[in-house]
Chains A and B, each alone.
Chain A
Amino acid sequence: MAVPQRKTDIGPPNFEQFLPPVIKKNYGKWKYHEVLTPGAMVHVAESGDKLWTVRVASPRILATDTIREHCDIAEKYCDGHLRYTTRNNVEFLVSDEKKLEPIKKELAARGFKMGGIGYGISNVVHTQGWVHCHGAATDASGIVKSMMDELMEYFESKRLPNKLRLAVACCVNMCGAVHCSDIAIVAVHTKIPDIAHENFKNMCELPTVIGSCPTRAISPDPAQKSVKINPDKCMYCGNCFTVCPPINIKNPERDGIAIVIGGKVSSLRTNPKFSKLVIPYISNEPPRWPKVVAAVKHIVDVYAANARKHERVGEWIERIGWERFFSLTGIEFTVHSIDDFTFMRDTLRTSPAFKW
């Protein structure tokens, strides 16, 4: 088959051609919605028309044959209409109520997991890890799979005080949503990089490398036509590696996982929040990362047992205080949780009001 003529700057197809007729008709005229089960909801339009949505878990990495299976199901029950969510779940859009129970039955029979709506745990926003990225300090997909196997009941049914957002990033670039999630995993390096000095002058731009360092730990090394790194200032972020291939930051024994919690992006009740560091280091333990999974499960359990209805993790902790969070969870408070970077002056306690 001859390759067709290429076109440029056409952008994506107009979304309108993909909308189901019930959406086209009621676009911007929805009245209310109701969550029917953790995997199904209905939207009711001013006109009285209804649209049922069935949400299904996805590992985000999908084989084309799985996408075709999504298509088969959408053709059988949804006139070929489906969408994906901002957390990478799959949604089947059902316009005919008679097809709602049959599609749920077929999805269950095929082994798809319905859920992710309402006050539980939905899909985990995550990154490329060892599957595709050069900068990964861990594998994102493996940690996600391990966590969600453990937390499956919260996806499918079990309810929490509010929704709980999980995220995983395979390095401190934090692609995705780690910095603003209820509980999140970020992979960290813990050792200053080695530099293959003989390659520096051929592969790197000196000013870019120096400018890449958040703590100004990098200075020129004219004798070697390279750079040197001040070990007292380097906190192993790896950004110099990002701009300069001969700087090697990866280290299988020292790379590991940090856990940050309490972030949110919505403005409901309280303003959006960053996630904060509570566990500074756990070793990489593929394929199941048991300690990471146990730590996340433990924080979920303590939150579920203690938070008030509608409180997100960060809201709960702001109410009870971080000192109480650490005592309730029994997580060891280490010096690593005390900020010594950008936000330090905002994060120290400038009051004698605290709990024992």
Chain B
Amino acid sequence: MKKHSTPLIDELEKGPWPSFVTEMKKAGKNNEMANDAVGHLEKCYSTKIGYWKHGGIVGVLGYGGGVIGRYSEIGDEFPGVAHFHTVRLNQPSAFFYTSKALREICDIWDKYGSGLTNMHGSTGDLVLLGTKTAVLEDIFAEYSSRGWDLGSSGSALRTPSCCVGPARCEWANYDTLGLNYALTQEFQDEMHRPSFSYKFKFKLSGCACDCVASLARSDMSIIGTWKGVIKIDQAEVQNYAKKGMDINAEIVNMCPTQCISYNGKEMKIDNAECSRCMHCIAKMTKALRPSGERGATICIGSKAPIVVGSLLSWVVVPFIKLEPPYTELKELIRKIWDWWDENAKPRERIGEVIEMKGMRSFLEAIGVPPMPQQIKEPRKDPFMFYTDEDIASYKAKEAEEKKTGKYKF
């Protein structure tokens, strides 16, 4: 195996933060692909440019995605990375593993690939970094026969991902892990065989802390919430005060809706005015807890800047109950995809299509009524579309008012 001189990236083995260069070299000790990946990266650092060829279309039979093909422009110099494809393996909900499972994953990967991984990709997949086309089918057979399937890529439903949820968090308002698994299983076909205009992502967070960043990183963000009251343990409130928390400054005055009061003895919350932002609960973990009816808010549309600019997901369904078998949610998802499919141009994310076609078209198609919870503020301009039916319905209301002598706004 060729020993590469790597003075530039050697610098990145120094310092306290764990070094990715050390990891690459560790894998490269017994693996030609990882060894050449080290030399290849040094060359990028010395010339300040990447050497991966554009694109690369590889995969496994029966699937249209799951493997990101990659070839080096300088494969003659670094034959170990002439092919350097990435395999996306679908991670278990919330990234829980046993050592037994991880050892099996590692053993298979060492046999066929570079021994390098990403734990994990930003979408959630366990990323196996670097292998050759000829062994992709073998890799897939080894993993799938042991219960592991590929994740997703391309214009498809991408691998869903969720926060740690009820497994280890007292704020989870629904079973993020269970729903994540259920949606992944329900939509296996949509994940493995791209049939959409572009990519579509689900992310599931148990509360508004949004620990999986669903509002920013998924076309459909499923964020847990509740309709009951915040339970207050007044003795624990006192304990926080005794330990030095300035409850008025840190909790009462930072509440965005100003619905909390504290008189030095007792904390009160006007729950009808609470927007469930989680600040007070997150700062007083022992004293405050959500209670009552649980479910989620469904937000749609987030994406990165390309093409029309970044979007954050916005509220479409303010509250939905989420209990197995999740029939209502699955039906909603299918309606959303049908509308998107009919209206999108190639490579248009759903958020962009809703911007183009308008919320009205979207809401009518999926059977969700307009609600003030869906907006930050009403429109400022008077450039509204009216249908004949709209005017007929306003006129009918006025006729009714004439009869009764009472206005209904």
Contact = CB atoms under 8 A, between A and B. Distances in A.
Contacts of A173: 304-306
Interface string B350-386: 0000000000000000000000000010000000000
Nearest to B138: A3
A107 B181 CA distance: 32
Interface residues of A, number: 118
Contact of B12 (A145, A178, A250): A145
A208 B307 CA distance: 12
A280 interface: no
Given A8-B62, A177-B216, A149 B15 contact: yes
B140 interface: yes
Contact of A10 (B118, B144, B308): B144
Nearest to B186: A11
B140 A268 contact: no
A127 B86 CA distance: 13
Interface string A219-250: 00000000000000000010101110100001
Contacts of A211: 307, 345-347
Contacts of B119: 58, 60, 62, 67, 84, 88, 90
Contacts of A274: 310, 312
Given A177-B216, A211-B346, A265-B216, A287 B11 contact: yes
A291 to B, nearest CB: 14
Interface in A39-55: 43, 51, 53
Given A81-B98, A211-B345, A284-B48, A63 B24 contact: yes
A214 B168 contact: no
Contacts of A267: 208-210, 215, 275, 277-278
A152 interface: yes
A321 interface: no
A168 to B, nearest CB: 11
A19 B167 contact: yes
A148 interface: yes
A130 B41 contact: yes
Contacts of A239: 306-307
A146 B18 contact: no
Nearest to B308: A342
B133 to A, nearest CB: 16
Nearest to A179: B310
B188 interface: yes
Nearest to A270: B256
Contact of B181 (A12, A155, A177, A179): A12
B404 interface: no
Contact of A309 (B91, B185, B217, B250): B250
Given A63-B23, A82-B97, A113 B17 contact: yes
Given A13-B101, A268-B277, A139 B95 contact: no
A304 to B, nearest CB: 18
A145 B50 contact: no
B305 A51 contact: no
A235 B319 CA distance: 41
A148 B308 CA distance: 32
B279 A269 contact: yes
A32 B170 contact: yes
B166 A27 contact: yes
A112 B140 CA distance: 33
Contacts of B309: 214, 341-343
Interface string B160-193: 0101101111101001010011001100110010
Nearest to B106: A64
B137 interface: yes
B16 A152 contact: yes
B309 to A, nearest CB: 3
6 closest A-B pairs (Cβ-Cβ)? A149-B15, A342-B309, A71-B99, A28-B166, A245-B54, A148-B17
13 contacts: A11-B149, A11-B181, A32-B285, A64-B106, A64-B110, A75-B99, A113-B17, A130-B45, A132-B84, A134-B55, A172-B306, A174-B305, A341-B309
Given A51-B168, A81-B96, 16 more contacts: A11-B184, A58-B18, A67-B102, A80-B99, A82-B102, A132-B129, A134-B53, A149-B16, A177-B213, A214-B308, A239-B306, A245-B53, A268-B278, A287-B11, A310-B250, A310-B254
Interface of B: 8-9, 11-12, 14-24, 26-27, 34, 37, 41, 44-45, 47-55, 60, 62-63, 68, 70, 84, 86, 90-103, 105-106, 109-110, 115-120, 122, 129-130, 137-138, 140-142, 144-145, 147-149, 161, 163-164, 166-170, 172, 175, 177, 180-181, 184-185, 188-189, 192, 208-217, 249-250, 254-256, 275, 277-279, 282-283, 285-286, 289, 304-310, 312, 345-347, 376
